Amino acid sequence: MNLFPGTIAGLLRADALNVSRDPMLMIGIVMSLLPVPLIVIFGPLAETAAHETFGITGVARMLGALAVLMPGAMLGWVTGFMLLEDRDEAVLMALETTPVGRNGFIAYRLVVTIILTLIVSAGIGFFVLPDLPWTTAFLMAIITASHAVLTALFLLAFSANRVEGLALTKLINLALLAPLAALIAPPWRYLAAIVPAFWIGEMAGLSPATLSPLPATLLALATAALFVILLLARLRHRTD
């Protein structure tokens, strides 16, 4: 695997061009940012309406937790779908004969996804959950980045083509609801802890009795690492 600065710059230009030419991928990127203005503008209104109508409080915080996770879901999906396209078009197979290599190319895509997700998710956290310490917002962004990696690898590991990838997207999107499991009384809510994104709800303060941010992040990353190992093992056994 040889990824020199010039090679990385060339790959980044090519990926940016590919994304700009695909309306579906562009929509995915826009969707990762769309919740921010909506929550900033309508969050207080939703909070007031929910409290006056149903006696529910903390709606804006719930929406904020989901918004923090959105970049991981959307950017991870974009990365996974681009890798599926490359596999369908035999690009990944052709890369086996280059210095970059198939695994090097996948690693490059995942690292770029992690960096972008960290930046976007942390920024969203500062806007939609301004009462949280910046360290907590950053730790939540780290968990979101792990969610992006899992999303991309899940699509690549379990989808034979882009059509199957679109079908599996519906299943993957269910993980977006994982932070809301923090609303369930303990110990039952910890059944959802198998999904790393669950800990975002804990750290956002959706429940009065939560684990502190650092242990929650470590547990989320440990779970994500286990899933990454399993997904990579499945990828190694694929013949396509």
Q: Is the pLDDT of residue 230 over 60?
A: yes
Residue for token pair 């079908």 = 167
Does 217 map to a domain? no
What is the pLDDT, as a whole number, of residue 223?
96
Q: Is residue 230 part of a domain?
A: no
Q: Does the pTM of the predicted model rise above 0.75?
A: yes
Helix (H, G, I), strand (E, B) or coil at 240: coil
Percent of the chain with pLDDT over 70: 91
Angle (nearest 5°) at CA 116 between 74 and 85: 55
200, part of any domain = no
Write the DSSP assignment of 161-209 as a string of letters. SHHHHHHHHHHHGGGGGGGGGGGSPTTGGGGGGGSTTHHHHHHTTSSSS
User: What pLDDT, in 10s, does the model give residues 163-194?
Assistant: 888 888 888 888 888 998 988 888 888 899 99
240 pLDDT higher than 80: no
- Give the burial string for 55-66 (b: 16+ CB within 10 Å, else e): eeebbbbbbbbb
* 222 in any annotated domain: no
Range(s) of the domain holding residue 129? 5-175
Separation of first and last alpha carbons in the chain = 20
Query: Does 10 score more than 90 pLDDT?
Result: no
Structural domain contains residue 113: yes
pLDDT band at 35 (very low <50, low <70, confident <90, very high): confident
Q: What is the pLDDT of residue 6?
A: 64
Give the chain's mean pLDDT. 85
pLDDT at 112 over 90: yes
Residue 205 vs residue 221, higher pLDDT: 221
Q: Lowest mean pLDDT: which of 2-11, 35-44, 111-120?
A: 2-11
How many domains is the chain partitioned into structurally?
1
Q: What is the pLDDT of residues 195-207, one digit of tens each?
A: 999 999 989 887 7
Q: 216 in a domain, yes or no?
A: no
Average pLDDT of 22-38? 80
Give the C-alpha distances (Å, rounded to integers) separating 136 from 10, 41, 123, 202, 217.
35, 23, 12, 11, 9
